[in-house]
Amino acid sequence: GENVEQHPSTLSVQEGDSAVIKCTYSDSASNYFPWYKQELGKGPQLIIDIRSNVGEKKDQRIAVTLNKTAKHFSLHITETQPEDSAVYFCAASKGDKIIFGKGTRLHILP
């Protein structure tokens, strides 16, 4: 069945530096790839998503890239700030199913 691998599980970056989180998926039919941010005590919140007909999408300091051939997609956060500290989840969906990665705990160091 569909599987989504997410790396790294923990990431620490200096404030102001960039952070990159990578995910790979197994089902080539997946066509929607959302990224969620989960802060302590809250449910996941969508921060950016990308569909299979697009290779890259950017929203201010956040960008996502998709390589359909290699079946991997990445989240890029530039100029990291303390409020970026959270757990980030990637997911892959093909309409009637969605599979999440195990999450990346991002620490922004002062």
Partner 1 sequence: KAGVTQTPRYLIKTRGQQVTLSCSPISGHRSVSWYQQTPGQGLQFLFEYFSETQRNKGNFPGRFSGRQFSNSRSEMNVSTLELGDSALYLCASSWTRRFEETQYFGPGTRLLVL
Q: Which of residues 38-67 bind partner 1 (CB under 8 A)?
A: 41-46, 49, 51
CB 5 to partner 1: min, Å: 11
d(CA 26, CA 72): 9
Regarding 11 and contact with partner 1 (CB under 8 A), the answer is no
Give the residue, chosen from 10, 59, 82, 97, that forms a contact with partner 1 under the rule CB under 8 A.
97
Contact present, 94 and 101 (Cβ < 8 Å) = no
Q: Which helix (H) or strand (E) holds 78?
A: none
And the tokens for 2?
């569909």
Residues near partner 1, by CB under 8 A = 31-32, 34, 36, 41-46, 49, 51, 89, 93-103
